[in-house]
Amino acid sequence: MEKYGLSLADLEVIDPVSECEQSETEFGACLHPIVHAAAGAIAEFTGTECWWIGGSSSRLVFLGLPGDVRIATYLAKIIRDAMDLEWRFWWAVNCGLTPVRPNTARKNFMDGMGVRIACRLYSMKQKRESRNNDCKAIVLRKKNITEKALKATGIKFYAARWSSSENFDDASYSAGSAAGTHTSLNAGELK
């Protein structure tokens, strides 16, 4: 944390209501699979809170300290673009070779990739926290700040209704998971 000039003392004086920011990223008419699989992991990794807003245009929202929100938004966009690109590559080769409809294959591919990326983000966070003893205290303080800021917004959350699909394509899911393994997420690779 010394590298970025962040200390626990700096976080103690932050007013959650005035110093936290909120950022919305639009994903178009339908909800992008990143929301289903990786958004929670991005929020956990960056120390932010996240939720999505449906309607005519789906939006992913991050709330937290300004630097954390910028990183979360950046990661969401990069991961969304990587997921779309990997899907196009995989589908160009496998079009017509799956036993399910294209939209089912896409959903399974995206779910597999998103879940794998989420696992990698959780793992990276655990490694980061284990290296620095002061890091855990900072993470807990940042979590407290974002929770207070979220409470101050007065937003009420409702459980989303998801349709359950019985169509599952293991090949698409496995290909997505493999693509998630190869997606660059390490420091220096996201430039």
- The label of the residue with tokens 């939209």 reads 103
What does the pLDDT read at residue 169? 80
C-alpha dihedral over 73, 78, 82, 84, to 10 degrees? 50
Q: Tell me 2's DSSP state.
A: G
Q: Give the pair of three-digit tokens for residue 176.
A: 């997505």
What ranges in 30-169 are assigned the alpha helix state H? Answer: 33-37, 39-46, 66-94, 102-131, 133-153
pLDDT < 50: residue spans in the chain: 1-4, 8, 11, 13, 190-191
| Domains in the chain: boundaries | 2-9+19-153+169-181
pLDDT for 104: 87
Query: Rounded to two decimals, what is the model's pTM?
Result: 0.74
DSSP state of 188: T
Roughly how many angstroms between the first and final C-alpha of the chain, as a whole number? 21
Give the pLDDT confidence score for residue 92 in this predicted structure: 92
pLDDT of residue 3: 44
